[in-house]
């Protein structure tokens, strides 16, 4: 600090020339953590000690020293030096960036050490601005995209065509890609407002898409399409016949891109499927709710009412119900979602909505409910519409009543003993 006499005296005593600029880059800790071949020793070796200390000291002394922590700042620094030196305003901006930089670095290290802890005493979350969005959920809301530094479908994926993603595009694409990633391959889904407007597994990606769109064409209009296998030309030719916002898949074949080029407003992305497990954080006023991601298990069911059922259809229905806003009831026939009641305040309301969409296609279908049936009315309605089997968590005080309803109708009933609310 050149404003302090004893500091100036120490410089003279030790023969140190004053300097106005500190440039320091960190060891690549985060990229080492992301390297699947890195050992624990490799990661620990990349924890920088001296660099952050130097940066913090320089940032504290920003009244006299500029501190540079990123190559992105070099051009601005060079221009300032050529024009006479670093202004106080620039040094302050650099100090802000430096403290944010060291905070993010320390947070990354702390997060790695807490990786095996269910509920750490403290969770360090730092987010880096990736850019402003045109607007938020509605046009009057300002919005921006931030990254926590971990690889994700949007951060490592490629936007192959179309304009930049909007706030709602990110939200819906996240929901669509998580759903399709949980389904057997090949599968395709159509999502609107985070709920599935259609979903299906098929013998090919084109078959899966055709079935998904046909599940509820009215709701699918303007939706986000996601597939869990590469999109080929035939599928692209079907997609462009409809109004869609986004297409996302692990890859898009070159001749499919030629087809999409005729509809330049469709955003086309290739990206790795999202991670299944992990921690989920939801911000509320003054804090956050932290939980493990909901993993949908199809291997531990028990049959509580006799009858035959298409196991694959039941599994597809159960997976889709678990990715649909509660209360959710989903009908599936031959790998195709033919009706979905989403976000209903009552269980019977969700049943009625799903049946109204399915119509005659409910005959021979199976049903899944994300939570238990509190009364037998839901089973009665499903059976009367021709549904042959139901999967649900069980756990109601009226389970016996519900089981009796299934037996009365000859409806196969399975309990999973696991609820899948989604809010």
Residues with catalytic function = 60, 193
Beta pairing class for 187-192 and 223-227: antiparallel
Torsion sign, CA atoms 353, 354, 357, 363: negative
What CA–CA distance (Å, rounded) separates 239 from 174?
20
311, 334 contact by CB (below 8 A): no
DSSP state of 274: P
Local structure of 300: helix, strand or coil: coil
Termini Cα distance of the chain = 54
Whether 112 contacts 150, CB under 8 Å = no
DSSP 217-255: HHHHTTEEEEESS-B-HHHHHHHTTS-EEEEEES-B-HH
Which residues, 6 or more positions from 10, have their beta carbon under 8 angstroms from its beta carbon? 16
Task: Identify the CA nearest to 58 among candidates 116, 4, 113, 97.
Answer: 97
Q: What is the DSSP letter of 417?
A: S
Beta pairing class for 158-161 and 267-270: antiparallel
H or E stretch at 113 = helix 88-113
């Amino acid at each position: 600090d050149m404003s302090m006499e004893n500091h100036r005296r120490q410089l003279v005593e030790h023969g140190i020339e004053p300097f106005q600029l500190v440039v320091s880059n960190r060891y690549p800790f985060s990229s080492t953590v992301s390297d699947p071949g890195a050992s624990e020793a490799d990661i620990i070796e990349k924890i920088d000690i001296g660099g952050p200390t130097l940066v913090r000291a320089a940032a504290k002394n920003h009244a006299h020293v500029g501190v540079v922590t990123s190559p992105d700042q070099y051009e601005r620094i060079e221009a300032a030096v050529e024009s006479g030196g670093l202004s106080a305003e620039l040094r302050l901006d650099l100090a802000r960036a430096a403290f944010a930089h060291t905070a993010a670095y320390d947070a990354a290290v702390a997060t790695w050490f807490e990786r095996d802890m269910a509920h750490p005493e403290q969770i360090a979350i730092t987010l880096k601005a990736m850019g402003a969005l045109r607007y938020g959920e509605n046009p009057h809301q300002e919005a921006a995209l931030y990254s926590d530094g971990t690889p994700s479908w949007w951060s490592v994926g490629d936007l192959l065509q179309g304009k930049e993603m909007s706030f709602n595009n990110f939200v819906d694409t996240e929901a669509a890609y998580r759903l399709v990633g949980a389904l057997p391959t090949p599968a395709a889904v159509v999502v609107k407002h985070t709920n599935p407007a259609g979903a299906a597994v098929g013998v090919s990606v084109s078959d899966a898409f055709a079935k998904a769109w046909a599940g509820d064409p009215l709701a699918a209009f303007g939706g986000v399409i996601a597939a869990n296998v590469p999109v080929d030309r035939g599928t692209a030719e079907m997609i462009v016949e409809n109004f869609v916002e986004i297409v996302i898949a692990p890859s898009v074949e070159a001749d499919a891109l030629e087809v999409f080029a005729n509809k330049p407003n469709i955003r086309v992305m290739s990206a790795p499927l999202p991670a299944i497990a992990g921690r989920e954080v939801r911000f509320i006023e003054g804090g956050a709710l932290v939980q493990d991601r909901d993993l949908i298990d199809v291997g531990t069911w028990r049959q509580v009412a006799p009858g035959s059922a298409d196991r694959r259809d039941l599994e597809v229905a159960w997976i889709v119900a678990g990715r649909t806003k509660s209360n959710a009831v989903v009908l599936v026939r031959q790998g195709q979602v033919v009706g979905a009641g989403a976000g209903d305040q009552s269980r019977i309301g969700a049943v009625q909505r799903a049946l109204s969409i399915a119509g005659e296609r409910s005959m021979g279908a199976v049903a899944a409910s994300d939570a238990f049936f509190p009364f037998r009315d839901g089973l009665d309605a499903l059976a009367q519409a021709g549904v042959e089997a139901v999967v649900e968590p069980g756990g109601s005080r009226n389970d016996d009543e519900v089981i009796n309803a299934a037996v009365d109708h000859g409806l196969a009933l399975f309990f999973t003993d696991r609820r899948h609310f989604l809010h």
